[in-house]
Chains A and B, each alone.
Chain A
Amino acid sequence: MPERYVHAIRLEDPGSEEPAATRERLKDGFPRGATRRMTQLGLLVGTTLDGLAPRTDDAVVYASSYAESRALEGYLESFPTASPTLFQTSIHPSAVQQSLIGRQHPVGEFFPLTGRGHLVAQALQTAMLARAPRVLVCGGEERGTWLLERGYASARTFAFAMALGAAAEGAVARVALERSGEPARELSLEQFFDRLRARATIDQMAAPGVRLTLTWL
């Protein structure tokens, strides 16, 4: 099973910040006028990606369980006069696209994944199988409103991005996936984010047949 080195990590942990406040706080980091239609998750994921200075030969892996909850809620509320803007913004990979379209930044491979308890391991495996010299793994969630009340949106807003490469030199962490016959456990995106934030080691089964280790260097 493969391994990669983490060369940079960017985190956004805005707590209970409302989307309008996030927009005001982060708008200077985006092209003028671009933030007006961006979602909170788009702003946060875009900010973390910007911190890694994306290159056109990077591959991008995006992980989110619920993705654009606010846009989805707004789109559903717009019926019977459906909003075309909210429709296109509500699609799963929109957070990354909002940012990269704003910067007119093409990428070759872009893998948007979703899931729950095995999503982190699946995203890292996807990154490790990518052909690009550098892979940006990003993800996050945004706090929902009426979908959250029903348990169908994230209760927390956060975003992260990390740059993975093959070289150990200059790395801040090593991430590896190993085959194991132990029973699978779950590692949610939010738990992974908290481990990154705390710079905590990870050594656990994270998907069927897959042990994930994250070691800080």
Chain B
Amino acid sequence: MPPTAAVRLEAAGCVTAFGNAEATHAALLRGERALALAPVLGSDGGESVPLALAGGRSLDETAPPNWLPVLQALRATIPADDWGAANRPVFVTSSNFGVGSLYAFRRHGDPAHLPFGTPAGCVEWLARELGWGRNVTTVSHACVSAHLGLMLASRAIEAGLAERALVFTFDFISPFVTGGFHALKILNAGFPAPYADRPTGSIGLGDGAGFAVLGDRRGDFAIVAQSVHNEMHHFTANRADGAGFAACLEPLRTAAAGRRLWLKGHGTGTIEAGRLESAALAAAFPGAPLVSWKGSLGHTLGSCGLVELAVAAAALRSGRAPGTVGGVAPCFVPQVALEPFAINDCDAVLCASNAFGGAHGAFLLSHA
């Protein structure tokens, strides 16, 4: 199957609990952890779990959602263009969209929450607020959503259907999603330690939003290869032989040949997925240092692919990659980097994400 052609990254940015991409990169280099223990259901209480909220907002949903100002501030950093016009498509990606509003409606009965609750309603509202036209495609594939947005935008440019494309992603946590991961028992009182070989796993959840402007001419970075794979083995588990991870990475090995790489893995802090992912990455790219940043930022869900792309781009610009904040030895594979390291001699970074259903997404980001 022919790969998606290389595309230029004209601009990228993100918001996390630390702030923008540069602030996030700097905080990660300092080894700071944005996650803090907070009640899993917000004002409804429950066990305290690691959460990282952006912009000082509350976990409890408001109407309109209290994360709109965060997105408006991010919108102000996107290069100006006629976004949403016929040849300037917008690809919006998320896992949760405004579904926290449905929780708020169910909990409090206030119908003011409802218009933000469905993906279509939420994105239409957001497009109006952010000043986009009507050419907006919405992708929803849980935590690989942003990867799919990048792939669709790249293909639209390659096919001549767009001159530039905006991929925009957001996921703001709410009791809807914290309650769900808590019910699955992987969100608990423990802080995540990605790739650590320990008896019990745990994740943290964080707010995230990001954007990427793709084109075929400008920009100092290029997305040189992209890959996706869907195991369809189990909703919340991967094939025990790691074949799903390997299948997603295989097409990228060719594109990475001859390059000096570092690896930004998914690394949420769960045990089996961390073991399988790190083993697959180590096998496919021997010796390349591997990091995850979700031990600090939390898992930003459907936005993680783009949020971490923006941080990785900041790292490439600075020549220094943050280590695996929250990670502890022993790790599943020796190439897990717990401390920051120099990347001046690296050509590219491979960024990978995973999702429910054994979904995998990965891309190779390099200097253009």
Contact = CB atoms under 8 A, between A and B. Distances in A.
Interface residues on A, range: 35 or more
Contacts of A100: 230, 232
Interface in A71-112: 72, 75-77, 79-84, 87-89, 91-94, 97, 100-101, 103-112
Given A79-B103, A87-B184, A105 B232 contact: yes
Given A82-B183, A91-B356, A126-B152, A115 B232 contact: no
A97 B144 CA distance: 14
B141 A110 contact: yes
A57 B114 CA distance: 40
A76 B99 CA distance: 10
A129 B121 CA distance: 26
B120 A115 contact: yes
A111 B182 CA distance: 27
A2 interface: yes
Nearest to B2: A131
A209 B135 contact: yes
A92 B123 CA distance: 15
Nearest to B97: A114
B183 A114 contact: no
B183 A104 contact: no
Interface in B1-54: 1-4, 41, 44, 46
Interface residues of B, number: 66
22 contacts: A76-B103, A80-B41, A80-B44, A82-B183, A84-B183, A87-B179, A87-B183, A88-B184, A88-B235, A91-B95, A93-B357, A97-B232, A107-B230, A107-B232, A110-B230, A110-B359, A112-B141, A113-B137, A115-B120, A131-B1, A131-B3, A179-B86
Contact of B357 (A81, A97, A179, A209): A97
Contacts of A108: 1, 228-230, 247
B139 A125 contact: no
Nearest to B87: A209
A65 B120 CA distance: 7
Contacts of B106: 76-77, 79
Interface in B115-135: 117-121, 123-124, 133-135
Contacts of A87: 179-181, 183-184
Interface in A163-184: 179, 181, 184
The 4 closest A-B pairs by CB, nearest first: A209-B86, A87-B180, A92-B140, A82-B179
Given A113-B139, A129-B152, 6 more contacts: A88-B236, A91-B142, A92-B142, A106-B233, A111-B148, A184-B134
A118 interface: yes
Interface string A149-193: 010100000000000000000000000000101001000000000
B240 interface: no
Contact of B118 (A66, A97, A132): A66
Contacts of B233: 101, 104, 106
B352 to A, nearest CB: 16
Contacts of B183: 81-84, 87
Given A65-B120, A101-B357, A106 B247 contact: yes
B159 A2 contact: yes
Given A75-B180, A80-B44, A112 B139 contact: yes
B81 to A, nearest CB: 15
Nearest to A79: B179
B41 A208 contact: no
